[in-house]
Structure 1
Amino acid sequence: MLPCLAADRALLLGFDVEIANVHKTLDSLVAKRAKVQARLSAYAYPVQSLPDEVVSEIFLNYIPPYPICPALFGNGSPTTLTQICALWRQIAHKTPGLWRAIEVLVVSNKAYTAARQLTELATWAQRSRSLPLSVLVGEPSHDEYLTSALGVLLPHRERLEYLGIDYLAFPLRDTKIEIEGIFPALRILDVRAPGSSPVGRLIGPLVTPRLTTALLDLCDALQLNWFLELLPWAQLTRLWLRFVTPRDAARILPLAPNLESCRVIFPRVNSDEPPPPDVPQALVKLPILRALLVATVDTSTKEEAYRFLLALRLPALKRFYITDSEDEWNNAGHVPLRRMIQSFGCELDELHVEATDEAIKLYRVALPSIPTIEALEHEGKDCNGGWGDKSWDLFELHGSQQN
């Protein structure tokens, strides 16, 4: 028994020596690690040494320039910057310029539901602080989403600078006017609703001292008597009226003598409606208008539209665009179009007509005083193309292009 105890004592001594050696090795490794960590800690990464103001400027270059809206989620969204590190998240949240252009309800899927987008709308509006806002509200899947969006936006009405609403068919009943009164910063208003217009149902008379551009779908809206007081028409320089009858266009345009560019899209004719009364057409004078686009949609009444166009007096007009799917105005002698241009009292530089190449050649022969006569190039039924400058079209210029 005694020899066994002596052997165990010898083993313990050996273990103690090995443990001491391991501790010595471990201590050496810990010391070496500490030196490496000290060197790393002493090094300042350039991006972390930048002042917050510089990082904010870098962040602002990550998104499109205002008033173009960045993506609400994913690549190109300022929310991506908040997911890198705590420092970047803090700086991004304190950079109001990242959150001032907001596009909601334009793209909707399982990941980016309407409810989630409305939550982001409220968050972005809050983070943008006191900066002017550019907001596009797309087609909501339910009416209450539009109501919720307006509930977030209207408390910031003094900051709304660019406002676009795209609504396929606004409810005709059980609606109340919510967008009305003073909007001191509003420059461009874009209301799209080809089914039934919210003008007069959701949108009432507006006081907008800085408004210069309006794009309005007025289908069903002009039955209201007060629409002439809807906007400060006299201060507008660009106006786009869609689904407006020639008779109502003749009522609106004289209120806007300072227009420089104008688009008028006539609606389809409802066969159930009685024909308009045959009353003399008063002259419509727009002394500084330089660009005019007129489009007739399918079965629009040509006679009423032609009478309206003959009443226009546009001495400064330089570019005239006209689209017509029928040949009623494009006869062999081009008499209606030629008479129309003569009645304008202008010297056109450009005429763009929806016609074949062969017809364009005939136009050039019939109208030799016009330097440029070309086929009208447009992108779809709304004649968005052919203008060169789309800077007044909020959904085309300011959208994130996600859709």
Structure 2
Amino acid sequence: MLSSLAADRARVADLDAQILFLERSLKELKSQRQPVLERLDSYKYPVLTLPTEITTEIFMHFLPTYPLCPPLTGLDSPTLLTQICHEWREIALGTAALWRAISISSLMPFEHQFRLSSMWLNRSNCSPLSLDLAIYLLRRTELLSPLFLHCARWQHLNLRRLSIPLLRMIQFPMPLLRSLDLFLTNDDPDFITAKVVFPEAHLLRTVVLNDHAAKVLTLPWVQLTSLTLHGVYPQECVPILRYTSNLVHCKLVLVDDDGDVTIPDITLPALQSLELTGYAEGYLKTLIVPALRDLRVSESFLDPECIETLAAFISKSRCQLQELCVTDTAAESRDSYRDGFPLITVSFGRSTLDS
């Protein structure tokens, strides 16, 4: 028993010696650690030494070119810039232009998207806004309210599968609106008689509409410089094109109703670029475009005598056509276009149905 007691005392003494050694070692390590920490605290990463203006410019190039919209979250979102460090977070949150383009889609729950979009609206301050909204996926229209409150800042508006009742909800003055891309559904019983006017859109210049939107929407047509109509009948273009005297670019995706309808001639004196896609034989003859320089036309728009039809169109318009692209044409007939128009740059391709 005495030997065991002596052994325990020796063991305790040994442990005390080890503890003392470790405490002295720990104290020494702490003393060595402190100056290292001080040097780290004083170190500045080169990127953080840049002037705020340069960092802001780098942040702007991180995003898609406005008015294209980045996602609300993820690696391609400006929210990523707020998660790198405190300094970058402060710069990102203080740069209103990073938050001015908002996209709503089906990639996450809508309640979460609209909470995020409300934050973006606040961060964007007074900047003009670009909105890309897949509203057909919504079930609660009240979620749009935060966006409606900022309609005076809307500059670029892309609305997909919008219903007529919801369209009526946004008939507010939009003094900054420059472009409108609108695809309407016809699930409203009053669709045929419904007429919707966009008031106070004095800066609107670029418009893309599907057939339903073209039927019900009244816009300041005369001030437009670019117009795209999707899936419309030739006769439906008449009440619109007769007022678009300042158009510079026009794309028509037409459908033929096979009816015996007489289409009057339409003169577009400023039009420089024209694309005709779809099917409406003979429609080209109804257009008089003296300023036209670039024509992209599906062969389906031409009579069987394609070269003669194009030559008559150019002669009637008295235009100086420079670029001609004939789409959906057989390879064996291409030489006839080149031979028929030796002074014009002729190319061939496929019809583009997207705006």
Coarse TM-score class (shorter-chain normalised): 0.7 to 0.9
Residue 287 of structure 1, aligned match among 255, 269, 282 = 269
Aligned to 1:101: 101
Alignment: residue pair count: 352
CA distance in 2, matches of 1:89, 1:58: 14
Residue 148 of structure 2, aligned match among 154, 158, 163 = 154
2:115 corresponds to 1:119 = yes
Residue 187 of structure 1, aligned match among 154, 178, 185 = 178
Q: State the TM-score, normalized to the length of structure 1.
A: 0.74
- 1:218-367 equivalences under 5 Å are 218-219=211-212, 221-222=214-215, 224=216, 227=217, 230-269=218-257, 275=259, 278=262, 281-297=263-279, 300=280, 302=281, 306=282, 309-325=284-300, 329-332=302-305, 334-354=307-327, 355-365=329-339, 367=340
**Structure 1: which 5+ runs fail to align?**
385-392, 394-403
Q: State the TM-score, normalized to the length of structure 2.
A: 0.83
Residue 201 of structure 2, aligned match among 204, 208, 217 = 208
CA distance in 1, matches of 2:74, 2:150: 26
More helix per residue: 1 or 2?
2
Aligned to 2:137: 141
Q: Cα–Cα, structure 1 residues 199 and 241, in superposed 2: closer, same or farther, change >3 Å?
A: farther
CA distance in 2, matches of 1:267, 1:215: 16
Once structures 1 and 2 are overlaid, which stretch shifts more, 120-129 or 42-51? 42-51
The one-letter amino acid paired with 1:116 is H
Aligned to 1:37: 37
**Structure 2: which 5+ runs fail to align?**
none
Judge conservation of contact 1:195–1:219 (CA < 8 Å) in 2: yes
**Secondary structure of the structure 1 residue equivalent to 2:247:** coil
| Cα offset, 1:128, TM superposition | 0.7
Alignment RMSD (CA, Å): 3.5
CA distance in 2, matches of 1:14, 1:52: 60
Judge conservation of contact 2:298–2:351 (CA < 8 Å) in 1: no
Judge conservation of contact 1:178–1:202 (CA < 8 Å) in 2: no
Q: Cα–Cα, structure 1 residues 286 and 220, in superposed 2: closer, same or farther, change >3 Å?
A: closer
| Cα offset, 1:257, TM superposition | 1.0
CA distance in 1, matches of 2:209, 2:7: 101
Q: Deviations over 1:333-370 (max 9, x none)?
A: 744443333322323222222311222222334x3365
Once structures 1 and 2 are overlaid, which stretch shifts more, 116-125 or 331-340? 331-340
Judge conservation of contact 1:239–1:263 (CA < 8 Å) in 2: yes
CA distance in 2, matches of 1:8, 1:375: 98
| Cα offset, 1:282, TM superposition | 4.2
Judge conservation of contact 1:293–1:322 (CA < 8 Å) in 2: yes
Once structures 1 and 2 are overlaid, which stretch shifts more, 199-208 or 285-294? 199-208
Q: Cα–Cα, structure 1 residues 178 and 34, in superposed 2: closer, same or farther, change >3 Å?
A: same
Q: Cα–Cα, structure 1 residues 296 and 59, in superposed 2: closer, same or farther, change >3 Å?
A: closer
**Secondary structure of the structure 1 residue equivalent to 2:324:** strand
Once structures 1 and 2 are overlaid, which stretch shifts more, 198-207 or 35-44? 198-207
**Secondary structure of the structure 2 residue equivalent to 1:358:** helix
Judge conservation of contact 1:196–1:221 (CA < 8 Å) in 2: no
Aligned to 1:390: none
Q: Cα–Cα, structure 1 residues 77 and 208, in superposed 2: closer, same or farther, change >3 Å?
A: same
The one-letter amino acid paired with 1:205 is F
| Cα offset, 1:221, TM superposition | 4.7
**Secondary structure of the structure 1 residue equivalent to 2:199:** strand
Q: Deviations over 1:222-249 (max 9, x none)?
A: 2x5xx5xx22211111111223322231
Identity %, equivalent residues? 32
Q: Cα–Cα, structure 1 residues 18 and 57, in superposed 2: closer, same or farther, change >3 Å?
A: same
The one-letter amino acid paired with 1:368 is F
Where relative contact order (Cα < 8 A, 6+ residues apart) is larger, the structure is 1
| Cα offset, 1:163, TM superposition | 0.9
Judge conservation of contact 2:184–2:213 (CA < 8 Å) in 1: no
